[in-house]
Amino acid sequence: MQVSAAHPPLAVLCSVWGREISHEGPFEVLRYDPQTMELVRSANGEVPWGRTPVGGGWEEDGRTLYHGLAHVEGVRVPGKTAPHLGGCNVSFGGKEIHVNDGYEIFSPERDE
């Protein structure tokens, strides 16, 4: 399962191997609930101290992917992030774009 963007009624678009591809199979949508989740700034694939990223899928080799949100050309684009990616990868404009810094991860809200 890959983290991706849905564009109803068109297709689910995923970033894979430097390209943007259309996904034809089943998918799930992460519903952002500001009462229980926060968007936390991140960089270089790192998980900020004390935070737990929301899982979004797995690589073919079993490594976990997390939900990320990057800014590309003024648009907030959902994508995938993980330490082994070194940032957040999103599908945009027909290709996979890598964002090193300034993206966000979804994390359960902490009790203060």
AA identity, residue 63: R
Q: What is the pLDDT of residue 1?
A: 41
Report residue 17 as tokens: 């191997």
Q: What is the pLDDT of residue 23?
A: 75
Q: What is the pLDDT of residue 29?
A: 76
d(CA 76, CA 28): 19
Report residue 13 as tokens: 């678009």
Q: What is the pLDDT of residue 44?
A: 96
Give me the numbers of helices (H) and strands (E) for the chain, helices first please: 0, 10
Residue with tokens 């994508």: 79
pLDDT digits (tens, 9 = 90+) for 42-101: 999 999 999 999 999 999 999 999 999 999 999 999 999 999 999 999 999 888 999 999
Compare 23 and 55 and report the one with higher pLDDT.
55
Report the predicted TM-score, pTM, of the whole model to 2 decimal places. Answer: 0.80
